[in-house]
Structure 1
Amino acid sequence: MSLHLTPLVIVFTILATAFAALLSQMALAVFNDGVRPFLLDFYRGELARPQMTAIAFGLSAGFIFGLGVPVAFSSGVLNPWVLFLPSDILGILSPRKWIAPILGAAWGAVVVFGLSAATTAANSLPVNFLTAMQQMSTPILYLFSFFPAVAVTMQFGRLRGIITFVVSIFVMLFTMKWLPSVFPGATTMAIGVILLVAFAVAEEVTRARSERQKAQALQATEAASPGAASAEEDDPPASASALASAADDETSSIFAANAARLRRHAPYFMIMGLLLGVLVNTHMFAGGEATSYVIAKGQFANAAQIDFYRALGFIPLIVTTAVASGAFQIVGFTLIYPVAYLLPNPILAAIAGALLFGIEVFILSYIAKGIAALHTIRDASDNIRNAINLTLEVAILFGSLAAGNAMASGLGIAIVGGLYALNEVLGRPVVRMAAGPVGVIIAGIALNLLAYAHLFTPIPIK
């Protein structure tokens, strides 16, 4: 496996990382959702630049080297973890605005030229662990398809979860037998998401009806009351209500100010959308772990479907953190992925990306209000996000063990699995999702050293 990057990909990768670093330096946007809540204090000067840089690095390093780099190596497709988590750090680190894009561009150049050189070097080793890492694709593609069943179980209990899982299995079997040209994971995810949304809407309707009935019952009780309570009894609730109202007004004021700040900088986000639109449209950049492998196989419609479902889980998180912190997501609502995958050329993708990001910034406040009102839908989004993380952790672990097996059969499984278990008992110095790929890389290096020392005979990797 090697990275074959065209001049267009190289240029727009460097431009995208440069501009992303500028946005993070200005505290306008970062890719890491965990970093974003700290940016309001950083923007106000309550967090010093060295402190903010340390936070960004601590929350991002494991994903850069444990997930972003291995997925890029094994799929041959770039991803946001390897591009934009470092640009977050470099932008925040930069003391001057003009320094940030220089550092960001330098990182983009390191990625496009360094990864290509590294893959070429790895392909010449006795044990080609990059080829072995392609074994990760099958578990990720198929297990990821069942995240809706996991999300349903988390939110609606065992019965509905089991029903969703069984229906998903039958849909996958049906697709594999009668629709061989269609990726079975796509139809499986589709039916799972449909069931999840149906359950969520039904629950929301039931909740709204119940609240309406309670309100009507309370009004009837107050109307039937013989008299009002004494002033002394009324004062404490009134005071509490006034305090709560004041707190809500203050919070709303902060959120409105943050949303207004983002709208004022809409041209910056539109430029970022333009750059991302072109980069995604080249099909050498993907939005997620699963879609990296799907894009590598040339299945762009399936990749669009996967990233659209992923967006359902992340839009509420992106919106709420954006209005709370005054900082947007570098990749917007992530809808740029399914849109740009399917557009026929980079020019249309650039226009669509700019328009999409502009619209997203201007409707932030409205979506935030809608999310606050729809409790069940908001919970469903949280559960989608958690289910995606859970299924990917399992899939990446299985894929890492398969890669270990491809490199050295039982010995490879022992090294990769042993490193994963060791990481767990040591308190996860490497985040769980990244522990498997890191184990594969370490195992690959160790096996190559053993091969050069004539202590291990490499086996052909298919």
Structure 2
Amino acid sequence: MRTMSTTGLPLAADAGLDFSLPQQLTVILLCALTAFISHMALAVFNDGVRPFMLDFIHGRTTRSATTAVSFGLSAGFIFGLGAPMALSSGVLNPWLLFLPTDILGLLAPKKWLAPLLGAGWGAVVVFGLDGANEVAHDLPVDFLTAMQQMSTPILFLFTLFPVLAITKQFGRAWGAAAGAVELALVVMTMKLWPDIFAGALAMAIGVLLLIGLAVRRDLVQRKADRQAAAASGAVSEEAPDDDPMASLFSASATRLRRYLPLFMVLGAGVCVLAQMHIFGGGEATSFLIAKGQFSEAAQVDFYRVFGFVPLIATTALASGAYGIAGFTLVYPIGYLMPNPVLAAVVGAAVFALEVLALSSIGKVLGKLPSVRDSSEHLRNAITDSLHLAILFGSLMAANAMGGGLGILVVGGLYLLNEAMGRPVVRMAAAPTAVIIGGVLLNVLHWLDLFTPLKG
């Protein structure tokens, strides 16, 4: 039986991960390009690796040591989140494509070898995933179909991330008000526009409210500071010309601008991949793309941008290494483009503007501390909401494939991971437990110790 979405459309995973030739070539070439750019230390996808790139760029640490850092920070997301999400949704994601090319690019000792390794990984993805998908669906306990249970918790709990961010930054009263508004908007959307994702409008209002509150706080504080300075007769001091951070930021921005044509090609490639609708930039987005809800997917990834622009801009200026997906604006733009040619042109232009504007963005963020704080609260709220959604969805998948025994195995593996100090990162632990649990239930079936649930 094909699993149907809330819009009546089958999930992409039900049709397998069978890519057309242009799609295969796009993935392979993009993986080759991102591995090459990683080798050049111009950009990496993992935000946690980027701060380590400064020492590597200046020769204070070795390629092998930087590769080890990248692998340690990325492996859990690749195999515990990227691969399960792709197999369950039928849509590729950045953890599966770009985290491995971070590692392979840094690992390659020669410049020419990096794109070959990246292309090799792209080939593994486009040719290997479909085979793995078919094998998994043919098993007595089909854990991939069961993992599609994660879509509903991820989509609806993700809607609450602006409420969490507002509560943490501006207190319970504003948080309660935002929660009430979002709930009302979700109910209204489900009633009036049942064919669109119910959380889209709620997230938009929530993010706008957060940004509005942050800007208001900054403006009020700046006005108070000016009045206090005027009352005391003090004159504000400008930052000294020899500010070491300003010098570092300027050098990093100049280094990135020097490779602007290469970044434009990268932006074009990522935007074209998004336009092909075989790629989703996030957990919720992957399932929306799988259901054919491209405009809703664009909205979701657009709202995420506000949580990551300050982080990506500041780490890029501090380290001299940009993000593989830039500010991730090319994701929502790509979803909405009518054809790959236009997507390539627009993606290249967006990346050019981002790289050229880095210094200006850094200066603006320096004057808006509450907006910077909002970005951090947004990222933390996204992580918190998705952690609960993925855990809950994984337990639903466990119940679908094995009932109480499935919940025991998957929940037990998750709790064991927590007790052991999280050798698998928390976000990836539950999907990993579903896969391991699915394999174990199949083994028990073959030993005639477990009968798969019907339906």
TM range (shorter): over 0.9
Residue among 143, 159, 162 paired with 1:148: 162
1:4·1:76 contact (CA, 8 Å) conserved in 2?
Answer: no
TM norm structure 1: 0.93
Q: Which residue of 2 aligns with 1:231?
A: none
Rounded to whole Å, the distance in 1 between the matches of 2:197 and 2:35 is 37
Deviations 1:143-175 (A, max 9, x none): 000100000011001111111111111111111
Residues in 1 aligned to 2:163 and 2:435: alpha-carbon distance in whole angstroms: 32
Alignment match, 1:402: 396
Q: Tell me which amino acid in the other structure corresponds to 2:305.
A: A
* Contact 2:196/2:293 (8 A) holds in 1: no
Output the CA distance in 2 between the equivalents of 1:406 and 1:310: 31
Letter aligned with residue 177 of structure 1: K
Counterpart secondary structure, 1:457: coil
How is 1:381-396 mapped onto 2 (pairs within 5 angstroms)? 381-396=375-390
In structure 2, the residue matched to 1:42 is: 56
TM-score w.r.t. the length of structure 2 is: 0.95
Alignment partners' CA distance in 2, 1:309 and 1:6:
30
**Superposition pairs of residues 313-324 of structure 1, within 5 angstroms:** 313-324=307-318
Partner of 1:343: 337
Note the 1:360-375 alignment, pairs <5 A: 360-375=354-369
Structure 1 segment 225-244 matched on structure 2, within 5 A: none
What corresponds to 2:306 in structure 1? 312
Instruction: Give the structure 1 partner of residue 150 of structure 2.
Output: 136
Q: Which residue of 2 aligns with 1:3?
A: 17
Alignment match of 1:187 (pick from 169, 190, 201):
201
- Which shows bigger deviation, 200-209 or 96-105? 200-209
* Structure 1 segment 153-172 matched on structure 2, within 5 A: 153-172=167-186
| AA at the equivalent of 2:355 | V
Q: Distance in 1 between matches of 2:75 and 2:196?
A: 37
User: 2 CA distance for matches of 1:63 and 1:166?
Assistant: 34
**Conservation of the 8 A alpha-carbon contact between 1:127 and 1:444:** yes
The residue type equivalent to 2:150 in the other structure is M
Secondary structure at the aligned position of 2:160 is classed as helix
For residues 434 and 315 of structure 1, the distance between their equivalents in structure 2, rounded to whole angstroms, comes to: 24
Structure number with greater Rg is: 1
Q: How many residues align?
A: 440
Q: Which residue of 2 aligns with 1:18?
A: 32
Aligned equivalent of 2:118, options 97, 104, 115:
104
Selected match of 1:69 from 51, 63, 83? 83
**Distance (Å, rounded) in 2 between the aligned partners of 1:272 and 1:183:** 30
Alpha-carbon distance, 1:99 to partner:
0.3
How far residue 133 of structure 1 moved from its aligned partner, in angstroms, is: 0.3
Alpha-carbon deviations, 1:317-358, whole Å to 9, x = none? 010000101111001110001111001001100111111111
Moved over 4 A (4+): none
Q: Could you give the per-residue CA deviations for residues 50-105 of structure 1, whole angstroms, max 9, x where no partner exists? A: 11110000000000001100100100000000000000000000111000000000
Q: What is the match of residue 10 of structure 2?
A: none
Superposition RMSD on alpha carbons, in Å? 1.4
Select the structure that is richer in helix. 1
